[in-house]
Amino acid sequence: MRQEDRKAALAAYRERKTAAGIYLLHCVPSGQRWVGRATDLASIENRLRFTLRHRSHSHRGLQAAWDAHGPEAFRLEEMERLEEESLAYLRDRILKQRLDHWRAKLGVEAI
């Protein structure tokens, strides 16, 4: 890749819009579910799958379910997308509140 192309691709990546929100991860065979928050919903599934595949996820129950059932058993569902917030501290506070809401509503653990 040429240096100019690489710089243009990097600039485009930095300028892209991201959507923050709440997601639900579901292990279909076991019925287990976990709810989480992400500042970038578009990239959270890849990040989760990477950490689980490398056995480095911090949630032991989720890692155990992944090890027992494999990657094809998991489905990720977007539960809520936040309105675009310009200030990161507002976005983080709202994400925490919405995560608590969904955790209580669904009766599941947070990841």
Per-residue pLDDT tens over the stretch 50-86:
999 999 999 999 999 999 999 999 999 999 999 776 6
CATH topology of domain 3-110: GIY-YIG endonuclease (3.40.1440)
Judge contact between 41 and 16, C-beta under 8 A.
no
This prediction's pTM: 0.83
Q: Locate the domains of the chain by residue range.
A: 3-110
Point out which residues pair with 21 in neighbouring strands.
38, 81
- Residue 19, CA distances (Å) to 7, 49, 53, 88 in order: 24, 19, 25, 12
- Residue 89, CA distances (Å) to 85, 86, 95 in order: 9, 9, 10
What local confidence, expressed as pLDDT, does residue 18 receive?
81
